[in-house]
């Protein structure tokens, strides 16, 4: 049973994780000025892969195993979600990008109902409806490329998260993270090679040639990997100390941090429709976290 001290610690760790995830977005935005979202994805995972590999020497991985295809699926889907996420970061403001990503709980609830046979309470159904109304309010009924990529980020993230839930009884957490990071290095590498020979406007989030980083880019590359890894570590600790519903609610602080960083970078202030849509999506997520 969690004590009040543990709960406070869990909240603190989630706030710290949210701050680090917002920093990850900040560095991704800075890198997008000189390279594609595909390459940003590659470097983010390459640095993270190096960092997590060091932990294997201190504590070997122990797996039960038995779900190799699901493990690979999680890695691939997670990588594609990261590709679309970094694309939205490069194409819109940080506040818009994180709001699109925060549609994930809506899709997770729906996928858990269909794939994991989890029951949806009345409050969860209401939350899903509010969330989708928020999505429509964000950009009206204009389904342009950016809007589709943003919604796809939320859906793919939910698919990856749902697969993680089915893997936790079979694999060490680091195995799941490693499958994601290995995919996150190999897939962008293949896409950048293909991007040398073929590009397409409809696949701009996935096909781009490699550009050798210059000067300050190397600093952002190291920082994006470290901030992403740190965010994962502190998020895990937060869920260890506090209840999942509470931690999930606190995780929405990343919206505030990302908005502040975006304004510091020169992003324009959100419009009224974006603020209303964002508010509805956040409320939807909070309702879903409370209904678990």
| pLDDT per residue as tens digits for the range 42-81 | 999 998 888 877 777 777 777 777 778 888 888 899 999 9
Residue 191 is part of which domain span?
4-290
User: What is the structure's pLDDT at 244?
Assistant: 64
Count of structural domains within the chain: 1
Quote the pTM value. Answer: 0.88
Taking residues 105-126, report their average pLDDT: 83
Q: Are 25 and 79 in contact (CB under 8 A)?
A: no
142 has pLDDT over 70? no
Q: Is residue 251 very low, low, confident or very high in pLDDT (cuts 50, 70, 90)?
A: confident
Q: Match 């000067």 to its residue by tokens.
A: 215
Count other C-beta atoms under 10 Å from residue 253's C-beta: 18
Contact 180, 70 (CB under 8 A): no
What does the block give as tokens for 261?
A: 């960083």
Average pLDDT on 260-280 reads 87
For the chain, the average pLDDT equals: 86
What is the Cα–Cα distance from 216 to 220, expressed in whole angstroms? 7
Q: What's the pLDDT band for 121 if we cut at 50, 70, 90? A: confident
Q: Place 2 in a pLDDT band, splitting at 50, 70 and 90.
A: low
Query: If phi over 0 gives left and psi between -120 and 50 gives alpha, with beta otherwise, what is residue 208?
Result: beta
What pLDDT, on the 0 to 100 scale, is given for residue 16? 94
Cβ(273)–Cβ(96) below 8 Å: no
Could you give the percent of the chain with pLDDT greater than 90?
Answer: 37
| Residue-level pLDDT at 130 | 92
pLDDT at 81: 93
């Amino acid at each position: 049973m969690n004590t009040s001290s543990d709960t406070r610690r869990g909240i603190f760790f989630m706030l710290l994780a949210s701050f680090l995830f917002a920093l990850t977005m900040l560095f991704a935005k800075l890198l997008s000025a000189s390279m594609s979202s595909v390459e940003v994805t590659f470097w983010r995972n390459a640095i993270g892969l190096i960092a997590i590999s060091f932990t294997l020497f201190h504590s070997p991985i122990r797996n039960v195993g038995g779900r190799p295809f699901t493990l690979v699926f999680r890695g691939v889907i997670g990588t594609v979600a990261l590709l679309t996420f970094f694309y939205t970061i490069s194409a819109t403001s940080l506040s818009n990008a994180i709001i699109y990503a925060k549609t994930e709980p809506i899709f997770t609830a729906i996928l858990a109902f269909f794939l994991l046979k989890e029951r949806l309470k009345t409050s969860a159904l209401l939350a899903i409806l509010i969330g989708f109304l928020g999505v429509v309010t964000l950009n009206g009924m204009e389904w342009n490329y950016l809007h589709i990529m943003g919604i796809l980020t939320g859906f793919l993230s939910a698919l990856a998260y749902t697969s993680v839930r089915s893997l936790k009884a079979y694999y060490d957490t680091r195995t799941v993270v490693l499958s994601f990071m290995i995919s996150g290095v190999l897939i962008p590498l293949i896409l950048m090679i293909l991007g040398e020979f073929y590009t397409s406007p409809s696949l701009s989030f996935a096909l781009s040639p490699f550009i050798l980083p210059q000067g300050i880019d190397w600093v952002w590359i190291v920082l994006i990997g470290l901030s992403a890894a740190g965010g994962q570590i502190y998020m895990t600790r937060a869920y260890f100390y506090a209840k999942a519903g509470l931690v999930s609610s606190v995780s929405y602080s990343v919206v505030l941090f990302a908005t502040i960083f975006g304004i510091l970078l020169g992003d324009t202030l959100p419009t009224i429709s974006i603020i209303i849509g964002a508010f509805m999506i956040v409320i939807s997520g909070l309702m879903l976290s409370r209904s678990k």
